[in-house]
Amino acid sequence: MSTPKILVRVPDDLVPELVAAGLAEQATTRRSGNWEVVASWLTGAGTVISLLQGPETIGWLAKALFKRKKDNPRASTQYLTAKGEAGELRIPITESTSVEDIERLLTATLFPADRDKR
C-alpha cells in the first residue's frame, strides 16, 4: 500500500531537498488545490509538489523552514502561513518560535487527522 500524498504549494527553495529526501515528487500540475505553505522570508511564487503525508514529512519541513529563518534573519517579524482542509493559520516567526511551533501549525492545517496523534 502506498503512502497517501497531497498536492501542496511550497517555497521553491525547499523542493529539491524534499524530493531528494524522498518526501515529495514533482507534480505535473500547477494547481495545488487547497494546500499551501508560505514563508514570508523565502522568495518565489512556490512550486506544487506531491507531498507524502506523515509525521516524518512534517518534522522535516518544520526543521527546514526553521533553519532557513535562522539563516536569513530580518529585523522585522516574519510570518509562516499554512492553508489546508482545516483552514488557514498564520503564526509570527520570532526569536522565541520553536521547530515544534512550526510543526504544530503544519500538522493542524495540512494533516488535521494527525493532529491528535502527536
pLDDT string in tens for the chain (118-residue length) = 466 788 888 888 888 989 999 999 888 776 656 688 888 877 667 888 888 887 888 899 989 888 888 777 665 668 888 888 778 888 888 878 899 999 998 888 887 776 555 4
Domain membership of residue 116 (yes or no) is no
Q: Which domain holds residue 15?
A: 5-111
The residue type at 111: F
Q: Dihedral of CA 92/11/16/115: which sign?
A: positive
Give domain status of residue 118, yes or no: no
Q: Which one-letter amino acid corresponds to residue 49? A: I
Q: Answer for the pair 37, 8: CB distance below 8 angstroms, yes or no.
A: yes
Q: Note whether residue 13 is domain-resident.
A: yes
Q: How far is 98 from 100, CA to CA, in rounded Å?
A: 5
Count: domains in the chain: 1
The closest alpha carbon to 112, from 81, 84, 82, 80, belongs to: 84
Question: What pTM, to 2 d.p., does this model score?
Answer: 0.78
Residue 69 lies in a domain: yes
